[in-house]
Amino acid sequence: MTELTKTLELKLVEPNAHKRGKLQETRKAYQKALQDAFNARCTTQTEANDVVVNYDLSGYAKNALKKYVPQLITTYNASELYDDHPVRFTNEGLRLDHKPENAIEWYVKIPHHEDYHLWMPAQPNPEQRGWLEALNAGDATMGESRLFERDGTWYLHVTATRNVEDSSGESAEERTPIGVDIGEASLVTVCHRDEHGSPTAPKLWDNEGKTVRRLRKSYFTATRRLQIRGSERIAESFGDDLWNQIDDVFHRVTREVVEYAESVENPVLVLEDLTYIRESMNYGDFMNRRLHGWEFAKLHAQIRYKAVEKGIPVETVNPRNTSKECHACGEVGHRPRQATFKCTNNACWMGEYQADVNGAINIADRYLSGESHSRKHTGGNDSAEDGGRLTAPQDSQADATQQETLGTYAS
Ligand SMILES: [Zn+2]
């Protein structure tokens, strides 16, 4: 078991003038309190408390200052402050919420004054989606967070921690690829080949596919009706409830997918690369397209983080034609019915096959054919999940924070 700690990067999406003003107020009060406590050479939490207690800040920011100032003075032996300190909040100061029906899906609650906070839409680093899903599900713990501004844009960096099992040291060739197909009829389908190369143990979550379609549909009919009646608030809480139900289904299915992988020797879960999926989708309806994108991204992120928790690697492959090719001969066939794939190659023994299972085997086979896209490894056990790409600047205190984290949690 290894404890992983990660700094999650969120960009606050275009706060309006009112919210921008509130963020600036918080920063100003925080920096003044920090400066005062620093000038007073506070070396204990009690001394720092006596100074910062008078400021118009949330308890989360004050508590962060009480911890931070004595460390700044005793650990780093600093004689002067950098001018550009992020505002720190202790854990639990921040809340995360997910509203997939909105154009910006993620929301963060930022403490402002005592008993007053701001809910703001936030764009996470897309590579870190698995971490957000884990936090949202309570499978990761939130630590300290830091709020800062760069070139007129506000960012939040959140420290998150979770436990993962160490990956076994099998080489890539010795692994058994499990194809994971995400679809409409069957929400998820998995399949792999046995030691003789025959497709085996297909598993379909088609009831869950039905459930999700029903929930999605009742969301649209009901919220439209409620909005026509002007009941926006009821529509919103009704919507939240339905999205939570969908999320519950997703969490159960993704847990079962990882359990399936655990039952296979030296597994690797193979997913379709989402960037290709977005390009190849041609649903007419914008909302429909966006929702499918959301469902793909959410299911993938949940599978990823749960697999990493169990030490199971995850790879992605190019999804081109995975639903159209015959897994036995590679010929492009057709689907006479949604659930049926028919091979049109007369020389092929296969004939008809369950379409989602055919897709899952094709996805698994692309791993073996060397078409998998191993993500950029950043080192550590987290490599299966996170690339090195950054969407937001790092705050200037990142190094100090890492040391501080060690200092705080090691004792
Ligand atoms: Zn065939």
Sorted by where each starts, the structural domains of the chain and their CATH numbers stand as 2-164+389-410 (no CATH), 174-373 (3.30.420.10)
Cα 350 to middle of ligand 1, angstroms? 5
User: How far is it, in rounded angstroms, from Cα 121 to Cα 102?
Assistant: 10
Q: Indicate the DSSP class of residue 145.
A: E
- Which residues, chain by chain, have CB under 5 Å from ion ligand 1? 326, 328-329, 331, 343, 345, 348, 350
**pLDDT value, residue 283:** 44
Q: Tell me the one-letter amino acid at 277.
A: I
Q: Tell me the one-letter amino acid at 367.
A: Y
Which two tokens mark 332?
């492009």
Would you tell me how many other CB atoms lie within 10 Å of the CB of residue 14? 13
In percent, how much of the chain has pLDDT > 70?
84
Cα 270 to middle of ligand 1, angstroms? 22
199: nearest Cα among 290, 326, 102, 74? 326
Cα 326 to middle of ligand 1, angstroms? 5
> Any residues with CB less than 8 A from the CB of 391 and at least 6 apart, and which?
9, 11, 123, 125, 126
pLDDT level of residue 340 (50, 70, 90 thresholds): very high
Which two tokens mark 344?
């049109």
Q: Indicate the DSSP class of residue 173.
A: G
Cα 283 to middle of ligand 1, angstroms? 28
Cα 200 to middle of ligand 1, angstroms? 17
**pLDDT value, residue 395:** 53
Element housing 28 (H / E): helix 17-39
Distances (CA, A) of 316 to 177, 267, 270, 305: 11, 14, 5, 14
The predicted model gives 280-306 an average pLDDT of 71
The predicted model gives 90-108 an average pLDDT of 87
Cα 339 to middle of ligand 1, angstroms? 16
Q: What is the mean pLDDT of the chain?
A: 84
Q: Is 139 exposed, middle or buried (0-12, 13-18, 19+ CB in 10 A)?
A: middle
pLDDT higher than 70, residue 408: no
pLDDT level of residue 106 (50, 70, 90 thresholds): very high
Cα 354 to middle of ligand 1, angstroms? 13
Q: How many CA atoms lie within 13 A of 315 on its CB side?
A: 24
Cα 347 to middle of ligand 1, angstroms? 8
User: How far is it, in rounded angstroms, from Cα 182 to Cα 188?
Assistant: 5
Q: What is the pLDDT of residues 13-67, one digit of tens each?
A: 988 999 999 999 999 999 999 999 999 999 999 999 999 999 999 999 999 999 9
Cα 346 to middle of ligand 1, angstroms? 8
Residue with tokens 């202790």: 90
Cα 355 to middle of ligand 1, angstroms? 12
pLDDT higher than 80, residue 377: no
pLDDT level of residue 167 (50, 70, 90 thresholds): confident
How would DSSP label each residue in 312-359? Answer: --EEEE--TTTTTB-TTT--B-EEEETTEEE---TT-S--EEEHHHHH
Full 3-state SS string of 226-284: HHHCCCHHHHHHHHHHHHHHHHHHHHHHHHHHHHHHHCCCCEEEEEECHHHHHHHCCCC
pLDDT higher than 50, residue 88: yes
User: How far is it, in rounded angstroms, from Cα 394 to Cα 400?
Assistant: 12
The predicted model gives 275-299 an average pLDDT of 61
Cα 208 to middle of ligand 1, angstroms? 29
With contact defined as beta carbons under 8 Å apart, do 379 and 388 qualify?
no
Q: What is the pLDDT of residues 188-245, one digit of tens each?
A: 999 999 999 999 999 999 999 999 989 988 887 877 787 777 777 777 777 788 888 9
Cα 410 to middle of ligand 1, angstroms? 59
Cα 52 to middle of ligand 1, angstroms? 72
Residue with tokens 């506000």: 154
Cα 335 to middle of ligand 1, angstroms? 13
- Phi and psi at 117, nearest 5°, equal -145, 170
Sign of CA dihedral 71, 76, 82, 86: negative
**pLDDT value, residue 170:** 72
Q: Tell me the one-letter amino acid at 69.
A: V
**pLDDT value, residue 239:** 78
Return the CA Rg of the chain.
Answer: 25
Cα 253 to middle of ligand 1, angstroms? 30
Cα 174 to middle of ligand 1, angstroms? 26
In percent, how much of the chain has pLDDT > 90?
58
Cα 358 to middle of ligand 1, angstroms? 10
pLDDT higher than 90, residue 133: yes
Cα 341 to middle of ligand 1, angstroms? 10
Alpha helices in 75-120, H assignment, sequence order:
none
Cα 357 to middle of ligand 1, angstroms? 14
pLDDT higher than 80, residue 321: yes
Least confident span in 140-149, 175-184, 255-264, 362-371: 362-371
Cα 352 to middle of ligand 1, angstroms? 9
